[in-house]
Structures are given as C-alpha cells and as structure tokens.
Amino acid sequence: MRARGNVMVQPIFSLRNVSYSYPGGIPALRDVSLDVPAGTRAAFIGANGTGKSTLLTLLDALIFADAGTVAAFGNELSDKSMCNPTIQREFRSRVGFVFQNPEIQLFCPTVQEDVAFGPLQFGVPQDEIRRRLDAAAARMRISHLLDRSPHQLSLGEKKKASIASVLVMEPEVLLLDEPTAGLDPQTSRDIIDVIEESHKAGKTVIMATHDLHIVEEIADVVHVFGAEKSIIRSGTAEEILTDGEFLQAHNLVHVHVHRHLGLKHTHPHDHVHNHAHPHTHDRQRDISSFR
Amino acid sequence: MSGKKFGGFLERTIFGTASLLREAVSVELVAARNGFLQRRDPRLKSLAAVLLLASVLMTKSSVVLSTLYAVILCLVVASEIGVFFFLGRTLFFVPIFSLFIVVPAIFDIVTPGEPIFSFTLFKVSLSITRQGLDSAAIFLLRVLDSVSIAVLLVLTTRQHVLLKTLRVFRVPQLFVMTMGMSYRYIFLFLDIIRNVFVAIRSRVGFISSTKEGRKIVTSTMAGLWLRSYRMQSQVYDAMLSRGYCGEAHTLDEFHARPLDLIIFFLALCALAGTLWFNRFFH
C-alpha cells in the first residue's frame, strides 16, 4: 500500500513471490513481487521469453501462480476464487486484456460482434451496448469496418478492433500485450493516444512491450524482466531508459549501425525523448552509396 | 502418386485455397449489395425460402414450377445479381443432381404410359412415354427451383447472418456461435495452409519422391492440427477474459419490416395454394 496524502491507497494488483511454470516444469516466472497502484501506468520490458506475457496472463486470472500470491482489488486470485461466478464477473468487468495476437482476440464472424461480445456477456442493455460500440468504434476509427469479417482486415485494423473490443467494456484496468508490435507509425501513434486518453480518464494501464520508444511516453513505472524470468530492476522510465549499459546487457538495445550520406557510423541506441545520441563515425566512406 | 503429380498437388492446393478465398469474398460482396432481397430480414427470408421449398416439393404442376422460376429470376434482377452469374451457379448443379434419375424415368420400364418414341437397344424394346417425359420435366423443374431458391438465399444473405438465422429454427445458441467461430477461423487456416505450401515450394520447389511428398503433407497436417489446438485454448482464454462463463450471448440485430412480413405471408400463401391446387391432380 502507498500513501496518497493521508489516505492509504490499496494497490490494484499485489504480487508476492509469484512463480509459474509451464506444463512439463519449464519455468516462466520466478519469484516476482510487485504492486500496481490504481491509476498508474506500468510497463514490463524485457527480451523475448522473459515472462512478460505470462505475467499479464496471470494478472488477467487466465492462469494461476504455482507459488506465491496474486491479489487484485484486495482479493486473492486463485482457481478456486475465480470459480465463483460473482467474483469472476466482477473481476472480468473491471479488467480488460488486449492479447498480443489479434487473431485470438477477434473470434467472432464480424468486427461488430467481436466489439459487442464483452458487454453482451455482462448483460449490458442493448441500447447501451450500441452506444458504447459506436463510441469505441469511432474512437478507434473502425466504424467503417464493423460489418467486415476479421480476416478481411489488415494487422493494424485488427489491432484497433481488438482494443475497441476491450475499451467497450469500460474496464478500470487495461492490460496490453505488445500493443504496438508490427504496426506502422501512424497506427502505433493512434494506439498510444488511446492509451494516454485511457490513463487520463483514470484507468490503470499495464503493458508488456519491446518498443522502448513508446515506454517513456506511456509508463510511469518500468519493470525490467531478465533472463532469469524475474524482475531485475524497477524504476521510472527515465531512470531505466537512460542506463544504456544496463539495457544493452539485457538485450533491450543494440549498437546502432547506419549510414548518413555514405558515412557508416555506430552509436548506442538511446530512447530518451531528446534523442541526443553521440555519433561515432568510423570514417569509412561507402563509395557504393554514391554510385 | 508420382513426383510430378505431387508437384501439381502443391500447385493445386495453393491455387485451390486462393480461389476459395476469392470465391468467399465475391459471395460476400454480392450479399453486401443493397438489393431487394439483401434488405430483407434474414429470419423471415429464410422462413419464406423454407416454405417455398416445401411448395416446390409438393406441387404437381409444371406451370406452377415454371412460374415460380420466373419469379426467382425477377428476384435475382431486383437483388442486383447478374443473371448469367446466377445461372452459372444454379444450372451447373441441376444436371449433377438430376441426370441419373431423370434419364431412366422417361422410359416405359420405369414410367409406363402412352409411348411417344420406341426403339430397340441390345434386343430390348424401349419406349419413351408421355407420362415419363412429364414426370422428368417436373422433376427437373423441381431441382432447378430448389437449387435456385437455396443459391438465392445464400447469395443475398451474409454467411454469418445466415448462420445466426438458425436460431429461428431453435438451433441452440452455443451451436450457432461455434459454427460462426468455425466460419471465422476457416479463413485463417486457409491462409496458413496457403502460406505453408508457398513456403514449401519456395524452399524445396519440385518434389521428386512420393515418400518425401507424403512426409511433407502429413507433417503439414500435424502442424496445422497443433496450431489449431493451441489456438482453441487461447481463443477460449480470450472469451473468458471478456466475460464468457459457459453461456454465450450474441448480438441480435434483426429488424422485421412490413415488407418482410408481406413476403413471408406470400410464401405461406404459395404453400397453401399448392396444397389446394394439388387436389385437382391425380
């Protein structure tokens, strides 16, 4: 719990020494402890296979910890507690999860049915569903795609439809797994804007991402996952992103090699907002570039 | 299967999946047009189609069947469907369904009656009878009308909507939803199959050994099965995450207008009229 003024704020998620293994005993998470206060923006970053997506799946109570405890809104998340329809309904209406693969998120024959699926399960009246559906579709700029089948959409459109299908539930918490992976710059920008708006509207946003360019803009707290499948460092976006050596040591950045007018040069990849990186020119003139 | 044939199999699979996708898209485009039947309520339209099919099966008059076919062609035009496109789809199936039944039925050995034309084949005397030709004509018209009604319904109703209309016939919600999801994922798997075979072709090109060919096909089948198995568990997670708890609720956006009811009433009258008209036939 953290203090806000004189009031103790209950964290939305509280994890203590959480471990999880895939069937066959393959470890996916080891001894993870963290608190996510309400209204914060948290980002999980780390190389592939370090457990970020597994943690999001745990937070959405789709899998349960082998060891340790996961609590949400003050209640422990367990297989047993989620068997209670009332608790499950309450939890699902408060937490929305955008899966990394939109092909999984969009399982209905049309985009419209997919977007409306969540509120329909919660028994929201048809008129209210229509209002929310129109609002979410307009916000994600997919109103013209509502009658289409998901297989007729581009990746960016599918991603937007996936996010709309969660926004329409009006959850308190947004879990996003790689929300901008593989998208063009404009679609990425649209999604970042939506995340920003959701946060301003008071939602808690938790995401896993490889895209360090967006982390500073959309995360207050960054948790870095290491190869040992646990959190190896937590801090503000600026603290983490300015530590180039740390990022490089954990496969989060690489030495950048590129050309400017035939001059090949290298520099470390820097993700701070001013993009002021030192350039180390090797002075090798690339004659072929002038041909 | 020779190696060359297997190479052809790869090509055929790639071409087949691509053409199936194209076909599905073209049908969807027709169903999305703003034609007369596309604007009708799918539930009443489906019920009207069932009533008309029942009329077609019960009528004994070739005049009624011919009139109905003329009405169907008018509806085709009113629904902004190309007549030749429609005829190409329907006339193709009629000989397939009817040829083997119709040909024996015109002879006196199956339908005795007034002979029109007699001949001897392998020392067997055969006659084509008037009654045989009449029943063959009625049968052909029945097949033609039935296929045309079914194709018209499919062409003017989007596939997922057509599946949802099954609810009108008391098919359980879960079954309808599962069918809808299957329809959605067929296209994803078709895409995967096409990509897998394109990747195989780009890497190995021509396959000379039948054994190797079989190995590739079986491993592709196994790979696809594993993918679908993994995906079904993830899709279930996605459903759970959005509140699914064993009983699915889906969007019901059907709106019946007076014209929809009139069309349904006309189909009902057609069935009643057919039953009444049949009293005069023996």
Residue that the structure tokens 């020494």 belong to: A17
How do A67-72 and A75-76 pair as beta strands?
antiparallel
pLDDT over 80 (residue B6): no
Which of A117, A130, A170 to probe the B interface (max B CBs under 10 A)?
A117
pLDDT over 90 (residue B148): yes
Report how far residue A158's alpha carbon sits from residue A149's, in angstroms, rounded to the nearest whole number: 10
Contact: A92, B160; criterion CB under 8 Å: no
Q: Does B181 touch chain A (CB under 8 A)?
A: yes
Q: Which residue has the higher pLDDT, B211 or B66?
A: B66
Q: Does A97 touch chain B (CB under 8 A)?
A: yes
pLDDT tens, A179-216? 998 888 889 999 999 999 999 999 999 999 988 888 88
Contacts 24+ apart (CB under 8 A), B124-133: B132/B105, B132/B106, B132/B107, B132/B108, B133/B106
Report how far residue A150's alpha carbon sits from residue A102's, in angstroms, rounded to the nearest whole number: 9
Spell out which residues of chain B touch residue A89, defining contact as CB-CB under 8 Å.
243, 245
Contact: A85, B25; criterion CB under 8 Å: no
Contact: A166, B244; criterion CB under 8 Å: no
Spell out which residues of chain A touch residue B18, defining contact as CB-CB under 8 Å.
none
Contact: B243, A99; criterion CB under 8 Å: no
Report how far residue A258's alpha carbon sits from residue A239's, in angstroms, rounded to the nearest whole number: 26
Give the per-residue pLDDT at A60. 96
pLDDT over 90 (residue A109): no
Q: Does A121 touch chain B (CB under 8 A)?
A: yes
Give the per-residue pLDDT at A168. 95
Contact: A109, B180; criterion CB under 8 Å: yes
Q: Which residue has the higher pLDDT, A124 or B1?
A: A124
Buried b (16+ CB within 10 A) or exposed e, B41-60: bbbbbbbbbbbbbebbeebe
pLDDT tens, B20-49? 777 777 788 888 888 999 999 999 999 999
pLDDT over 50 (residue A136): yes
pLDDT over 50 (residue A16): yes
Contact: A165, B242; criterion CB under 8 Å: yes
| Closest Cβ–Cβ partner in A89, A116, A149 for B251 | A116
Spell out which residues of chain B touch residue A126, defining contact as CB-CB under 8 Å.
252
Spell out which residues of chain A touch residue B159, defining contact as CB-CB under 8 Å.
109
Give the per-residue pLDDT at B118. 80
pLDDT over 70 (residue A122): yes
| Closest Cβ–Cβ partner in A107, A121, A126 for B181 | A107
Of B80, B1, B70, the C-alpha closest to B35 is B80
Which whole number is the average pLDDT over A147-151?
A: 88
Contact: A108, B184; criterion CB under 8 Å: yes
In B, minimum Cα distance to A163 occurs at: B242
- A155/chain B closest Cα distance in angstroms: 13
Give the per-residue pLDDT at A4. 47
Give the per-residue pLDDT at B196. 82
- B176/chain A closest Cα distance in angstroms: 11
DSSP-assigned states of every residue in A10-57? PEEEEEEEEEEEETTTEEEEEEEEEEEETT-EEEEEESTTSSHHHHHH
Spell out which residues of chain A touch residue B181, defining contact as CB-CB under 8 Å.
107-109
Sign of the CA dihedral running A32, A38, A42, A44: positive
Of B4, B188, B150, B19, the C-alpha closest to B72 is B150
- B173/chain A closest Cα distance in angstroms: 13
Report how far residue A262's alpha carbon sits from residue A287's, in angstroms, rounded to the nearest whole number: 7
pLDDT over 90 (residue A28): yes
Q: Which amino acid is at B219?
A: S
Spell out which residues of chain B touch residue A109, defining contact as CB-CB under 8 Å.
159-160, 163, 180-181, 183-184
Contact: A110, B160; criterion CB under 8 Å: yes
| Closest Cβ–Cβ partner in B185, B240, B251 for A112 | B251
pLDDT over 80 (residue B282): no
Range with the poorest average pLDDT among A265-269, B175-179, B193-197: A265-269
H or E, element range at A71: strand A67-72
Integer-rounded Cα Rg, in Å, for chain B is 25
| Closest Cβ–Cβ partner in B180, B242, B245 for A169 | B242
Q: What is the average pLDDT value for chain A, to the nearest integer?
A: 85
pTM summary value: 0.77
Give the per-residue pLDDT at A290. 36
Give the per-residue pLDDT at A263. 67
Contact: A103, B188; criterion CB under 8 Å: yes
Q: Which residues contact B181 (CB under 8 A, 6 or more apart)?
A: A107, A108, A109, B235
Give the per-residue pLDDT at A285. 43
Q: Does A40 touch chain B (CB under 8 A)?
A: no
Q: Which residue has the higher pLDDT, B11 or A83?
A: A83
pLDDT tens, A217-233? 889 999 999 989 999 99
Contact: B234, A147; criterion CB under 8 Å: no
Give the per-residue pLDDT at B1. 42
Which whole number is the average pLDDT over B181-200?
A: 83
CB distance B21 to B190 below 8 Å: yes
| Closest Cβ–Cβ partner in A60, A107, A118 for B235 | A107
CB distance B282 to B69 below 8 Å: no
Q: Does B238 touch chain A (CB under 8 A)?
A: yes
Range with the poorest average pLDDT among A54-58, A155-159, A285-289, B250-254: A285-289
Kindly list the distances between the CA atom of residue B78 and the CA atoms of B37, B38, B212, in Å, as whole numbers in the listed order: 8, 10, 53
Report how far residue A166's alpha carbon sits from residue A142's, in angstroms, rounded to the nearest whole number: 14
Which whole number is the average pLDDT over A27-48?
A: 93
Spell out which residues of chain B touch residue A107, defining contact as CB-CB under 8 Å.
181, 184-185, 235, 238-239
Q: Does A110 touch chain B (CB under 8 A)?
A: yes
Report how far residue B203's alpha carbon sits from residue B268's, in angstroms, rounded to the nearest whole number: 60
Q: Does A147 touch chain B (CB under 8 A)?
A: yes
Spell out which residues of chain A touch residue B245, defining contact as CB-CB under 8 Å.
85, 88-89, 121
Q: Does B245 touch chain A (CB under 8 A)?
A: yes
Strand, helix or coil for residue A114 = helix
Give the per-residue pLDDT at A256. 61
